[in-house]
Amino acid sequence: MAAAHPAPAGTGQTIAGALRAAAAALAKAAVPEARRDARVLLEAALAAGPEVTVGDPGRPLGATDAARFRGFIERRRRREPVARIRGRREFWSLPFIVTPAVLDPRPESETVVAAALRHVADRGPRSAILDLGTGSGCLMLALLHELPTAKGLGLDISPAAVIVARRNAEALGLARRAAFVVGSWGEAIAGRFDIVVANPPYIARPAMAGLAPEVVCYDPAIALDGGADGLMAYRALAGCLPRLIRGGGFAVVELGCGQEGAVADLFAQAGLAAVEAVPDLAGHCRVLVLRAGSNQKKIGNRLIPD
C-alpha cells in the first residue's frame, strides 16, 4: 500500500520529540554536550533559530528536514565537530566558512588577534599584515576587519586552504585588502610587514594519537603535526621571521601548552625577543609577541637573552 501513495509530508515527530531522540543518541555515543549539539544541529537542519527549537516545540517536523537532521546527528555521532557539519565557525564574532581543507578556528586563537591589536595601537592602522599558515584566513581577516586601512597577505602550503581563505575574504567583504599565496612559510615571500601572525602546527607527533577524535579525525594533519618535538614549524619561522618584520614591527605566534620556553629560546637565537607572553582564557601561555632588538622578557623561569 505505502508504495502506491506519495511520501507523507510529516514524520509524526515534533521538534521536541526529534530533539529528545537526537540528544539521547548523541549521549549514547558519549558526545559531550549532547543536548546543546542536538539543538544547534536541528537549527542548522531547519535553517531556523531558537524561536523554533525552543519556542515552538510542538511543531511537526517535515520529512525532508527530519532526514537532513538525522544525517547531521549521524555525523556528530561519528564525532565530526558541529562547526564542520554546519560548514561555519564563528571567530572574533565573524562567520567563517570551514571545510575539510582547513583547521577549525579555535577560540584560543583569538588571543593572537587581541595581542596583535594591542601592539599595533602605537603604529597607526596603516599596517601590512602577513599570516603564515593562514588556513581559513581567520587570524588575518579578523585583523583586517579591525584595522580598516590595513592590507594583508595570507600564505598556506595547501592550495585547498588558500581557496577557503579567499572565499572567506570575499564573504566578509575584505577581499580588496587581502591577497593569498601558496607556499612554505617565508620561502615565497619578499618584503617586510608590520604585523606577522602565525598559528603553526605545534602538536608533537607522538601526542597526535591522543587528541580528541574531533581534532585528530577531522582537522587536517598538516595543520596539527609539529614534527617529533612539536617545534618543527617554529624552527622554520625562526629562519624567516627576522627578514620579514619591518623595523618597529612585530610577530605574534600561537603556541601549544608548555612550549613557551623552548619557542622563546628558538626565536632569541634568531635575534627576536619575546616581549610579551599572553595566556588564553584557560590560563595556558598561548601566544608570544616577538620583536627584533633588545627588550627582555622572563618566560616561565627563563630570561630571554638580548
Q: Is 215 in the site for ligand GLN (CB under 6 A)?
A: yes
CA distance 274 to 147: 24
Contact with ligand GLN (CB under 6 A): which of 35, 59, 79, 106?
106
Contact with ligand GLN (CB under 6 A): which of 203, 237, 263, 289?
203
Residue 57 neighbours by CB distance under 10 Å: 14
Dihedral angle computed from the Cα positions of residues 134, 138, 144 and 150, in that order, rounded to the nearest 10 degrees: -10
**Contacts of ligand GLN in 181-200 (CB under 6 A):** 199-200
DSSP assignment, residue 103? P
Phi, psi of 203 (to 5 degrees): -80, 125
Q: Is 284 in the site for ligand GLN (CB under 6 A)?
A: no
Contact with ligand GLN (CB under 6 A): which of 105, 137, 186, 201?
201
Q: What is the H or E stretch that residue 198 is in?
A: strand 193-198
Nearest CA to 277 out of 258, 262, 292, 260 is that of 260
User: Of the two residues 15 and 224, which places its CB atom closer to ligand GLN in the complex?
Assistant: 224
How far apart, in Å, do the first and last CA atoms of the chain sit?
A: 84
User: Of the two residues 19 and 277, which places its CB atom closer to ligand GLN in the complex?
Assistant: 277
Q: Is 168 in the site for ligand GLN (CB under 6 A)?
A: no
User: Of the two residues 53 and 136, which places its CB atom closer to ligand GLN in the complex?
Assistant: 136
Locate cell 562547526: which residue? 83
Phi, psi of 93 (to 5 degrees): 60, 20
User: Of the two residues 224 and 241, which places its CB atom closer to ligand GLN in the complex?
Assistant: 224
Binding residues with ligand GLN: total (CB under 6 A): 9
Q: Is 91 in the site for ligand GLN (CB under 6 A)?
A: no
Set of cell numbers at residue 236: 622554520
User: Of the two residues 69 and 202, which places its CB atom closer to ligand GLN in the complex?
Assistant: 202
Contact with ligand GLN (CB under 6 A): which of 69, 91, 185, 202?
202
Q: Is 127 in the site for ligand GLN (CB under 6 A)?
A: no
